[in-house]
Structure 1
Amino acid sequence: MNFYQLVYWINILFEIYRYMIIIYILMSWIPNVRASSIGELLGKFVEPYLTPFRRIIPPIGGMLDVSPIVALIALIFVQQGLITVLRFLFF
């Protein structure tokens, strides 16, 4: 596998995970959707990543949780950092 194929698959995996987080966040706006089987499955994948951000960043006004936004931004930085490290390893 060459560098460009590896970067392609890394980008695909990170994009899928970002969409999973966004869908999980949107599910919180609809009553009882997180309790469904899909909501529980997404929660198993997304909550371990979101939990540390929720511990650090409290909800604004007790209601507005901005930690998923920070988590998504951090995920983008991790993705770009991983690609940069791989670029140094391959070239």
Structure 2
Amino acid sequence: MQRTYKADGIYTASGDKGYRDVVTVSVTITNDRIASVTIDSYQDDEAYVSQVKKYVLQRFVNQQSANVTGVSGATYSSNAVKSAVANALAKAKA
């Protein structure tokens, strides 16, 4: 069976700018699947990032994709995290 990702591990990347600055995330790949996503650094307001942490991070795991629905009211932060996750997954596939 062909692997989706080159190897299990933690892949870190930054993405597009959120409301204030870029966001950096770490994506853990285990058994060729997205096991977890964490936000490592951000400059956006905690109120917005906490909404992304609460609602969006698990969607990456559940849907096994960076193409997930963001949070209304935290659009910039959501899009920045989605972009960073896409970049981390691109590293995992390289």
Greater strand content: 2
Interval containing the TM-score (normalised by the shorter chain): 0.3 to 0.5
Greater helix content: 1
More relative contact order, 1 or 2 (CA 8 Å, 6+ apart)? 2
TM-score between the two structures when normalised by the length of structure 1:
0.33
TM-score between the two structures when normalised by the length of structure 2:
0.32
